[in-house]
Structure 1
Amino acid sequence: MALRVGRIPFLVCAPFFHDVLGRESRLTDVEFVDGPPSAHCRGLKDGSIHLSPASSITFAQKPGAFVLASDICTSCSFEVRSVKLFAKCAIEDLNGCTVRLTGQSMTSVNLLKVLLKERFGVTPVYVTGAYEPSDDACLLIGDQALEENERHRFAFGYDLGALWQDWQHVPFVFGAWIISKRALEDDLRQSLIRYMQATRESIEKFRENPSRALDHWLARYPVDLPRDVIENYYPALDYRFTDERKHSLSLFFEHAAGLGLIKEAPALEFLQI
């Protein structure tokens, strides 16, 4: 059986995957499945994929089913820039207003609900689907958020990573490498270990020459953004799963559980090699 890896075709995940683009067929024990974080959340829970840098809340939605890579995540240095609430009015004035939620990431949706309820004390009307001009605000993630940053269509834009860090004084963890315990069994374990090491090497190659890595990435997954905007996006990102970030993830789970967004805040469990 091949190790099935959920690949997210967003700029934020380019460091994880750029190094294997175009040579996937050489990885005879790995199969890639492209999709947004929400699709990989479902795939992890239903067993159709074995691992992915998925929405971090996925880990809490099926307690006991997963482990986390202990050293890799998707986080930020204050502003993430690709997870934003765009609004026609100030965030404090959104009580009773219509907020359109992205369907691409449940972590971002639940983080927004935590922030609005617990930090700002507002309860908007949440709706899903495509943004409509009558909406008071919308939550966008990934490349869509980066593109909206350049359009300047909204009076207010709020970076959720910055809102969380300003409130809790720790950087937020938007994505984690979530690994099904099925991948720990004998027939997949060695493939998993090799693949995670290749991912670490891919991140290092990206750090060494981001421009070359982006040439490779954008040839497969183009975006409607100026090149300088793309390259200036990465200094804000941090892929190290530090103790501080692990604490932040546990803290997020506690807040989400307190609002009934998840059943309980699970203890973090990590891949042991």
Structure 2
Amino acid sequence: MTITVGEIKYTNAFPFFYYVDRNKLLEKDCHFLIQTPATLNREMKAGRIQVGPISSFAYAENVDEFVLMPNLSVSANGPVGSIFLYTKRPLEELEGSRIALTTTSATSVHLLKILLKQYVEVNVTYDEMDPSFDEMMQDHDGCLLIGDEAIVTSWREEVETYRYDLGELWKEYTGTSMTFAVFAVRKDAIARQRAILEELYTAFVLSKEKNRKEQYASMIRHIQKGMGGTTAFWNHYFSNLVYDFHTQQQKGLLLFYEKAYEEGFLPKPIESIKIWGDVRTHHSSLM
């Protein structure tokens, strides 16, 4: 039975996938869809993807259909390094501004709205746009970029704007960490495809741990071939990211869900996070 795995196309999720043996997975009729978080969210909801990382906000929207793989996330306890609000004026002077939002995000879009409304206490209007800094800023007072587009834009020396890291702002205002992506499994897939899902989980965990043990060195060299960037930049970037999903990350995420519900972004409160509790790890041949 075919299984489709979602894979976020950004470098921040790469540690989970770098050492996974995709050829062996293909032999097991397991395929990957590499896309933006927003696309993966839609595909997972529609059932065309059975497992993989999605926006943490998308999990809350589909909490009855999904469970989360234990101890896997893309989180930050402070600066995340790839989710930036660029503005022409300081945060406190954004009242009445127009902000362009990337169409590739779910969590970050709602996080920004919560931060500006509840913490900075400014009212702004939003337009969704494809992630292009120059086009977004042409007719707007600011823009939100995520992922590799945000990283590359941060390298542009000619960009003269204020830049705010949403992970850093969340930490400053709430004192908690922020989880941007989680690894979800469709409940209806577990009964039919448990064995391969458990193999995948093991492969994700082992890839994460091997990268961490190597301090991401091999993976960084691979990334540099396509994106560039200094080794010092990538070392700093990955050192700020948290790939676990312990109590600290879950506490921060539940606070985010609470604020999202208060703003009417979620139809019901999320009081707990459902983890796939009986998933078994075992020797994996998928690395």
Normalized against structure 1, the TM-score is what? 0.93
Q: Does 1:256 align with 2:260?
A: yes
Partner of 2:172: 166
Partner of 2:39: 39
Partner of 1:178: 184
| RMSD after superposition | 1.7
Q: Is the 8 A contact 2:20 2:204 kept in 1?
A: no
Partner of 1:126: 126
Q: Does 1:61 align with 2:65?
A: no
Q: Is the 8 A contact 2:95 2:123 kept in 1?
A: yes
Structure 1 residue 217, shift from structure 2 partner: 5.0
User: Match of 1:180, as an amino acid?
Assistant: R
Q: Is the 8 A contact 1:87 1:154 kept in 2?
A: no
Residues 162-187 of structure 1: per-residue CA shift (max 9 Å, x gap): 111111111100111111112211x3
Q: Is the 8 A contact 1:99 1:126 kept in 2?
A: yes
Q: Is the 8 A contact 2:11 2:148 kept in 1?
A: yes
Partner of 1:230: 234
Structure 1 residue 137, shift from structure 2 partner: 0.5
Residues 113-166 of structure 1: per-residue CA shift (max 9 Å, x gap): 000000011111101114142211000001111111111413311110011111
Stretches of structure 1 lacking an aligned partner (at least 5 in a row): none
Partner of 2:243: 239
Change (3 A) 1:249 1:27: farther
Change (3 A) 1:24 1:93: farther
Give 1:145's match in structure 2, choosing from 132, 142, 150: 150
**Alpha-carbon separation, structure 2, partners of 1:155 and 1:140:** 13
Q: Is the 8 A contact 1:54 1:177 kept in 2?
A: yes
Q: How many pairs does the alignment contain? A: 270
Change (3 A) 1:142 1:263: same
User: Match of 1:242, as an amino acid?
Assistant: H
Q: Is the 8 A contact 2:77 2:176 kept in 1?
A: no
**Alpha-carbon separation, structure 2, partners of 1:21 and 1:227:** 25
Query: Identical aligned pairs, as a percentage?
Result: 30
**Alpha-carbon separation, structure 2, partners of 1:28 and 1:217:** 27
Q: Is the 8 A contact 2:220 2:231 kept in 1?
A: no
User: Match of 1:244, as an amino acid?
Assistant: Q
Structure 1 residue 228, shift from structure 2 partner: 3.4
Q: Does 1:198 align with 2:176?
A: no
Residues 222-244 of structure 1: per-residue CA shift (max 9 Å, x gap): 22534432332100001111101
**Alpha-carbon separation, structure 2, partners of 1:53 and 1:19:** 16
User: Match of 2:211, as an amino acid?
Assistant: F
